Structure 1
Amino acid sequence: MARAEDWLLALAQQHRLSPTQRQIVQRMLGLFPDVAFKSTIEIAELAGVSQPTVTRLATALGFAGFPEFRAALRDAVLSSSPVPVSGRETSFVDQELANLESLRRSVAGEPFKQAVTLLAGAAPLGVIGLRASAALADYFGYFARRLIPSVQVCTDASTVDDTVLQVRQQGDGALLAFAMPRYPAGTVAAIRLARSLGLATVVVTDTALAPFADDADVLLVAPVGTELVFDSHAAVVVLAISLLDAIARTAPERTQQRLEAHESLVDRWIQP
């Protein structure tokens, strides 16, 4: 379904949509391939909006009405699927593989290169992630400290604004924000505060249609797995480690020196 999802995402990005309309598109992206065969009523119920709102989305995307939009959607789905769509069930592992395939294209793109340049040259680098994104921020920050001279990690909503301000006051810094669903209000506020203070901002999230997408200097998308009780962040972790590897390669001598200094302390932490 990757090509069909890419078609809908690209179509949405070509038009000025309201936050509610972007919400509908985001919900539809998680419903492939069945979404191409649902009615406006069914999509409205799944997206938590009214039926006329779904109809207006089709018009906003440049179609004469919803039937024309659905026909185009079906064409995209059928041209992407080598097997019959009806009754098709995608396993969790299949979804993760599709997410990683989508990520592969992102890592090869220009936004990824821009993010590496901003993060590698940051002094200091602020890393934030609240609630479900806290573990991602800690993971990235733990290894980033081996590569970058000054890294500040914040996973506490009560101090996130202070962290952003400190990063701005301490030099030519940048902010990396992990913003996975459900998007914490504190994370969105911190991203906007960073922009207002003139900090470069790199945001990692699950969709290019996130309501705060325009507040990021660089937006990196890593889809989440939604087949289980809790979202899977497998693609996000791969993106994080890919960023770290690329950052390391921007300054090989610095990386070597810092890693050797780190290795000299390892014996202190490991129980023989």
Structure 2
Amino acid sequence: MAPEDWLVNLARQHRLSPTQRQIVQRMIGMFPEVAFLSTIEIAEQAGVSQPSVTRLATALGFAGFPEFRSALREAVLAGVPSPRSAPDHHPDRLHPGIAAIEQECANLGSLRREVTGDRMAAAVRLLAGSSPLGVIGLRASAALADYFGYFARRILPAVVTCTDAATVADSVLQWHQQGARAVLIFAMPRYPAATVTAIRLSRRLGLATVVIADSALAPFAAEAGILLVTPVASGLVFDSHAAAVVLSITLLDAMAALHPQRTQQRLEAHESLIDTWIHDT
């Protein structure tokens, strides 16, 4: 088990506050170096106070931070740390845009284990086999749902996207009545209540749920049938979803490869329409 998984599993066993979940999520992106940092250094990189880091240690069942850090070091030494190279400069000293780019590079690197894992393979099979395939993304996740849906229509016979919180429950019910087997749900922070409602309704109706979220510690994580994690870069005014876009297009590529003949036929049909709308430069 990778050391990051050790921390995720530990956090899931305890009731943490939103701030404590935020610290854990930032720490996951700092492995393996995090096991050798002080409370001050972790607090600076997580954007919280030093006492918040100390309280996290006790919330996770440790007598204090030194005991927690010892356990972190044991997990790092026993597991296989993610390949990471320390930046030449502290992120706080970088231009915000450069810091965000470095964070996204780390986020993209973390996708390696996700796209080659069993959860990804299972998600591909479920989504490629559902007709219609419902795609949900509300508020900040709406653009991701539209992006995925736009390209998914090139390779799948029936794709329906819902980005309206007011109609999402109706959409899920309709997809179920039309014979859908699975839904894909994008859930980026801040998590709309309607997104969690859609996850629960889908499961109650017997639909498989594939949820793409920013953290394995999202409050609804345990309710997702398959959870695919794509960290966000949060150093700018608005979160960057670059890793989620890469995961989406990788998911589509794997779905296309699952039924190559169908994919080829549908892409050729789409190509025949391009001359009617493309601008020839």
What is the TM-score of this pair, normalised by structure 1?
0.84
In the alignment, the residues of structure 1 paired with residue 235 and residue 67 of structure 2 have an alpha-carbon distance, to the nearest angstrom, of 30
User: Out of 190, 202, 209, which is 1:194 matched to?
Assistant: 202
**Structure 1: gaps (5+ residues):** none
Secondary structure of the structure 2 residue equivalent to 1:93: helix
In the alignment, the residues of structure 2 paired with residue 58 and residue 172 of structure 1 have an alpha-carbon distance, to the nearest angstrom, of 40
Structure 2 letter corresponding to 1:112: M
In the alignment, the residues of structure 2 paired with residue 28 and residue 200 of structure 1 have an alpha-carbon distance, to the nearest angstrom, of 28
Structure 1 letter corresponding to 2:176: R
User: Out of 126, 139, 150, which is 2:147 matched to?
Assistant: 139
In the alignment, the residues of structure 1 paired with residue 185 and residue 117 of structure 2 have an alpha-carbon distance, to the nearest angstrom, of 19
Structure 2 letter corresponding to 1:133: S
Q: Any idea what the Cα deviations from partners look like across 1:195-246, whole Å, max 9, x if unmatched?
A: 1110010000011111111111111011111222211111100000001100
Q: Any idea what the Cα deviations from partners look like across 1:49-88, whole Å, max 9, x if unmatched?
A: 97885353231xxx34332113444777899876699x73
In the alignment, the residues of structure 2 paired with residue 242 and residue 136 of structure 1 have an alpha-carbon distance, to the nearest angstrom, of 13
How far residue 16 of structure 1 moved from its aligned partner, in angstroms, is 4.5
Secondary structure of the structure 2 residue equivalent to 1:177: strand
Secondary structure of the structure 2 residue equivalent to 1:229: coil
Change (3 A) 1:261 1:29: same
Kept in 2, the 8 Å contact 1:58–1:66? The answer is no
In the alignment, the residues of structure 2 paired with residue 271 and residue 16 of structure 1 have an alpha-carbon distance, to the nearest angstrom, of 52
Which residue does the alignment assign to 1:38? 39
Q: Pairwise mapping of residues 1-272 of structure 1 onto structure 2 (< 5 A)?
A: 7-14=3-10, 16-20=12-16, 24-30=20-26, 32=30, 36-38=37-39, 46=48, 54-59=56-61, 63-73=62-72, 88-89=90-91, 91-272=99-280
Q: Any idea what the Cα deviations from partners look like across 1:165-222, whole Å, max 9, x if unmatched?
A: 1110000431000001111111111111101110010000011111111111111011
Q: Percent identity?
A: 56
Kept in 1, the 8 Å contact 2:54–2:65? The answer is no
Change (3 A) 1:133 1:144: same
Q: Any idea what the Cα deviations from partners look like across 1:102-148, whole Å, max 9, x if unmatched?
A: 00111011100000000000011000001110000000000101111
What is the TM-score of this pair, normalised by structure 2?
0.81
How far residue 247 of structure 1 moved from its aligned partner, in angstroms, is 0.4
Kept in 2, the 8 Å contact 1:124–1:167? The answer is yes
In the alignment, the residues of structure 1 paired with residue 18 and residue 4 of structure 2 have an alpha-carbon distance, to the nearest angstrom, of 11
Change (3 A) 1:212 1:83: closer
Change (3 A) 1:50 1:231: closer
In the alignment, the residues of structure 2 paired with residue 238 and residue 117 of structure 1 have an alpha-carbon distance, to the nearest angstrom, of 19
Change (3 A) 1:214 1:259: same
In the alignment, the residues of structure 1 paired with residue 138 and residue 260 of structure 2 have an alpha-carbon distance, to the nearest angstrom, of 32
Structure 2 letter corresponding to 1:68: E
Kept in 1, the 8 Å contact 2:132–2:178? The answer is yes
**Structure 2: gaps (5+ residues):** none
In the alignment, the residues of structure 1 paired with residue 38 and residue 167 of structure 2 have an alpha-carbon distance, to the nearest angstrom, of 46
Change (3 A) 1:109 1:164: same
| Matched positions, count | 264
Q: Return 110-119 or 13-22, whichever deviates more.
A: 13-22
Kept in 2, the 8 Å contact 1:21–1:57? The answer is no
Structure 2 letter corresponding to 1:13: N
How far residue 29 of structure 1 moved from its aligned partner, in angstroms, is 2.9
CA RMSD of aligned residues (A): 3.3
